[in-house]
Amino acid sequence: MKKHNFSAGPCILPQEVFEKASQAVLDFNDSGLSILEISHRSDAFVSVIEEARSLVLELLGLQNKGYQALFLHGGASMQFLMVAYNLLQKKAAYTNTGTWSSKAIKEAKMFGEVAEVASSKDKNFNYIPKDYQIPEGIDYFHCTSNNTIYGTQMKSFPKTTAPLVCDMSSDILSRTLDFSQFDLIYAGAQKNMGPAGVTVAIVKEDILGKVERQIPSMMDYKVHIDKDSMFNTPSVFAIYTSLLNLRWLKNKGGISGIEAQNDAKAKLLYTEIDRNPLFKGFAEKEDRSTMNPTFNLTEGTDKASFDKLWKEANINGINGHRSVGGYRASMYNALPLESVQTLVDVMQHFEKIS
């Protein structure tokens, strides 16, 4: 029986994507070859990566606006380094809203001065800082849109004359935004877009070429743009599966279509968290993530009994990160509302028997 998968990543994908990807492993497009063995230089795969890159821009509304979509290696963790390599000449500004932004700051400090303009570390990252000042004369401003571990999400983004860089690993393609306000967006695919093994970077070309240092070829966005994401052998299967997921999302009405479903899921779960006396939300209400609700049991509540109930209900992946404890129910695009209802039913049953 298929489980209700609330895993934070690698995440749930649509059933039709699993089915089409598995068929391609056996026989890709009736070619007599598996997707795992076709040449990345073949016309068949070139058409896959070209469509995937084009669909990313189409779904974000960034076609013909000077952006390039790249499929790269190394996850968002490599992007922490790559962003600074390409953009940081003297000074950059960062907000620190959790584990991943802390790691991004650490990498950037290797290349220049980093101003940490705001942090929510004082309350274990359970809120998004606001009303901070972004200094003038910086090379770029970096933020993290959604914090998977702590369950917080930026609802708006600051105005800045510097290039705006955003790590959207855990909420990309999940909500409507004016994506043209960003100059560089990056995301590991495994949170909401595809399988582990590939990273997407959406880069506005005119922000590149400003640093004086030599950039190694594998770290240089311009090299990857010039080579159409084919500078080295790409992650063929991961990109193909991401393409299937992008097609699925387009057929669902694009980002605006899936956003309505994501909002409904979040409302259902957060309403129960706030109503049920046995649970308490971790993140500040105004900063709650649509993708990664985090919550704890109230003091004195029997954790073992609750854990037994949700496991018996075929629920997977809701244990909280060790930094927060409690529970985390990641509700990415492909998670059906029925799975959230199952979790809510368990929470309500737990209340009745406690």
| Residue 266 to residue 13: CA distance in whole angstroms | 18
| Residue 138 to residue 152: CA distance in whole angstroms | 26
Which uninterrupted H or E stretch holds 297?
strand 294-297
Mode of pairing for the β-strands spanning 327-328 and 294-297: antiparallel
| DSSP 8-state code for residue 28 | G
Query: How many Cα atoms sit within 13 Å of 344 on the Cβ side?
Result: 17
Closest residue by Cα to residue 97 from 131, 130, 59 = 130
Q: How far are the Cα atoms of 54, 122, 165, 259, 293 from residue 262, in angstroms, in the given order?
A: 24, 30, 24, 5, 12
CB 132 within 8 A of CB 118: yes
CB 14 within 8 A of CB 334: yes
Tokens 């004086």 sit on residue:
212
Tokens 């939300």 sit on residue:
281
| DSSP 8-state code for residue 333 | T
| DSSP 8-state code for residue 72 | E
Q: What is the CA radius of gyration of the chain?
A: 21
Mode of pairing for the β-strands spanning 294-297 and 315-316: unpaired
Strands lying side by side in the sheet with 327-328: 279-281, 294-297, 327-328
Q: Is the omega angle on the peptide bond into residue 234 within 30 degrees of 0, that is, cis?
A: no
Which uninterrupted H or E stretch holds 261?
helix 254-275
Q: How far are the Cα atoms of 44, 245, 319 from residue 39, in angstroms, in the given order?
A: 8, 22, 40
Catalytic residue list: 100, 167, 191
